[in-house]
């Protein structure tokens, strides 16, 4: 690699060898805490809300999380090998400009998740302290933005503290719920199976976990390049799988025990039934984890937005450009959050339904290209050169994506939110 190429790559968030640091086990807490927060709680409540009982919700949650996390974790090894943000790595498959297709999808995902995170934050603080929703959403967003602005190292440290705190909180909740919280009749009956709600919960859990695929290299790219595929996969899989399943089950148990409450209120009541005041502790810690998850979204969205701009005009990763990108993303998610707060669960369910169709073809193409076609070997300078070996448009990758997307459309009728009561 020439010195000029290295300078150009540095300007777009390539992490040089001399700046690599950290240990591979650090991936576990960032994805455990990244998954164990209020949005995950709401994801676990979808099946109960659509009519299946707790038994089949548990099966759907575990199965869906296992499927989505399996593919998501394979992306983690790409970061140490290439030292690049996740979405930049789509250029070899789709071309310098063709990658804009998946970058646009990723940007919508970041913004959509943050919009719903803001709504959940407002609802939680109204439940905990009777605070007005909209001002709370604004303060929450600014705090998340501040953490993202400080950067990746702060996010890593915060996630480690939260991960070990959450283990204690979730363990107490799990044991206490089994001992002290009675469930309505039929919630554990295997005979009460409904196919459409079951599939909706299964694919919601899978889509939720799979959507982390666009994040993982953003946080593993700082690790030394000798980190192996196996270790990166298992530390990421374990963190995301355990954190995701555990918090989704908390949401499912809460709404199964109190089906006429929203998931935030139900979780608080269940927690208080275990130990007086424990429901508040659970929500406060999950709220803190939601802040860092929102920071993950802001950080990834700013990288993606800068990459989109760089496709048309060379953009340096300066503090000024990062701030501009973060503010643009913050405004977009805030506008969406204020319009979504009136029908949260329905719109959140719709988002997850859409994501499974958008990300499944991308993750398949990206992983096959990385592990099978190119066997982890890429030209980093050419990834940033529109006239390089990867070209401006890769027709094969774009056609493969469209074929993959079209192949999934027939299942849309089965898993359509409009049929969730079927």
> pLDDT of 315-326, one tens digit each?
776 788 888 999
- Residue 21 pLDDT grade (very low, low, confident, very high; cuts 50, 70, 90): confident
Q: Which residue has the higher pLDDT, 2 or 288?
A: 288
- Residue 341 pLDDT grade (very low, low, confident, very high; cuts 50, 70, 90): low
Q: Which residue has the higher pLDDT, 363 or 217?
A: 363
User: What pLDDT score does 265 carry?
Assistant: 92
Count the alpha carbons within 13 Å of 138 in the hemisphere toward its beta carbon.
4
Instruction: Please give the angle made by the CA atoms of 136, 249 and 296, to the nearest 5 degrees.
Output: 45
Q: Considering all CA atoms of the chain, what is the largest pairwise distance in Å, rounded to the nearest integer?
A: 69
Phi, psi of 136 (to 5 degrees): -65, -40
User: What pLDDT score does 3 carry?
Assistant: 34
> pLDDT of 224-281, one tens digit each?
888 878 898 999 999 999 999 999 999 999 999 999 898 999 999 999 999 999 999 9
CA distance 419 to 414: 7
- The neighbour count for residue 250, using CB atoms within 10 Å, is 27
Say whether pLDDT at 53 is over 50: yes
User: What pLDDT score does 421 carry?
Assistant: 38
Q: Which residue has the higher pLDDT, 19 or 150?
A: 150
CA distance 207 to 374: 27
Residues 283 and 264: beta-carbon distance below 8 Å: yes
User: What pLDDT score does 79 carry?
Assistant: 83
Q: Which of 62-76, 153-167, 311-325, 377-391 has the lowest mean pLDDT?
A: 311-325
Say whether pLDDT at 11 is over 50: no
Say whether pLDDT at 61 is over 80: yes
Tokens standing for residue 233: 């996969």
User: What pLDDT score does 340 carry?
Assistant: 65
Residues 145 and 326: beta-carbon distance below 8 Å: yes
């Amino acid at each position: 690699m020439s010195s000029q190429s290295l300078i150009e790559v540095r300007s777009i968030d390539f992490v040089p060898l001399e700046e690599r640091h950290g240990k591979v086990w650090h991936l576990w807490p960032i994805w455990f805490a990244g998954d164990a927060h209020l949005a995950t709680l709401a994801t676990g409540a979808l099946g109960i809300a659509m009519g299946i009982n707790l038994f089949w919700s548990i099966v759907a949650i575990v199965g869906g999380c296992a499927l989505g996390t399996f593919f998501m974790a394979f992306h983690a090894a790409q970061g140490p090998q290439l030292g690049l943000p996740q979405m930049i790595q789509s250029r070899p498959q789709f071309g310098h400009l063709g990658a804009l297709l998946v970058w646009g999808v990723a940007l919508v995902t970041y913004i959509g998740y943050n919009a719903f995170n803001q709504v959940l934050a407002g609802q939680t603080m109204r439940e905990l302290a009777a605070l007005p929703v909209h001002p709370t959403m604004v303060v929450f967003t600014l705090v998340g933005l501040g953490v993202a602005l400080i950067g990746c190292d702060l996010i890593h440290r915060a996630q480690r503290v939260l991960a070990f705190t959450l283990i204690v909180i979730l363990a107490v909740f799990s044991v206490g719920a089994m001992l002290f919280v009675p469930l309505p009749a039929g919630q554990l009956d295997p005979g009460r199976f409904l196919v459409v709600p079951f599939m909706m919960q299964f694919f919601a859990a899978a889509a939720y976990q799979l959507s982390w695929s666009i994040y993982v290299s953003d946080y593993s790219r700082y690790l030394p390049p000798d980190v192996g595929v196996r270790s990166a996969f298992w530390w990421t899989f374990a963190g995301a799988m355990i954190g995701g399943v555990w918090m989704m089950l908390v949401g499912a148990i809460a709404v199964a025990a109190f089906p006429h409450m929203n998931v935030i209120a139900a979780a608080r009541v269940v927690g208080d039934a275990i130990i007086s005041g424990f429901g508040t502790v659970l929500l406060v810690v999950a709220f803190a984890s939601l802040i860092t998850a929102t920071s993950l979204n802001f950080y990834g969205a700013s990288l993606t937005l800068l990459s989109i701009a760089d496709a048309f005009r060379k953009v340096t990763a300066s503090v000024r450009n990062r701030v501009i990108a973060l503010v643009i993303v913050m405004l977009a998610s805030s506008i969406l959050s204020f319009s979504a707060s009136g029908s949260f669960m329905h719109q959140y369910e719709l988002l997850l339904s859409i994501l499974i169709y958008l990300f499944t073809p991308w993750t398949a193409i990206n992983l096959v290209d990385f592990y099978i076609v190119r066997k982890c070997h890429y030209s980093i300078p050419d990834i940033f050169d529109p006239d390089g070996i990867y070209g401006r448009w890769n027709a094969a990758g774009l056609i493969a994506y469209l074929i993959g997307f079209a192949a999934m459309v027939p299942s849309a009728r089965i898993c359509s939110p409009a049929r969730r009561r079927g």
